[in-house]
Amino acid sequence: MFFNSFRTNRRISQLETDVTELRRGFEQLQQEWDATSLRVTKTLRRLRSAEERREQQEAPAGEVVDGEAGKLPLTTVGASPDRMARIKKQLADLGRPTGGGD
């Protein structure tokens, strides 16, 4: 009986140690995840800001990006001649018709 209680106490002590280590590891993992989540959120915010700035720079004079004009389909906005030439060249390289007989 004495040896059985000694073994049980030792097993309980080992289980408590294991639970403590697991809890510590989980908390560390949770902190790492929180830090990663914050970095991703910060990066996405920067990307969104950069994209908004780029859209405002590319918008023709007088066009409102976030207003009604910003809701128009992208196909109604004219592309620059250089960009159109690149697009037509890419389509031609793919063997697709470019349309608009330039």
pLDDT at 17 over 90: yes
Backbone angles phi, psi at 80, to 5 degrees: -65, 155
CA distance 72 to 92: 28
Confidence grade of residue 97 (pLDDT, cut at 50, 70, 90): low
Contact by Cβ (8 Å): 65, 56: yes
> Burial code of 88-98, b = ≥16 C-beta within 10 A, e = fewer?
beeeeeeeeee
Domain match, 14 and 64 both: yes
CA distance 87 to 100: 13
Domain that holds residue 42: 2-71
Contact by Cβ (8 Å): 88, 98: yes
Domain match, 7 and 24 both: yes
Rg (CA), the chain: 31
Q: What is the pLDDT of residues 48-62, one digit of tens each?
A: 999 999 988 887 655
Domain match, 11 and 59 both: yes
Number of domains in the chain: 2
CA distance 16 to 10: 10
Percent of the chain whose pLDDT exceeds 70: 71
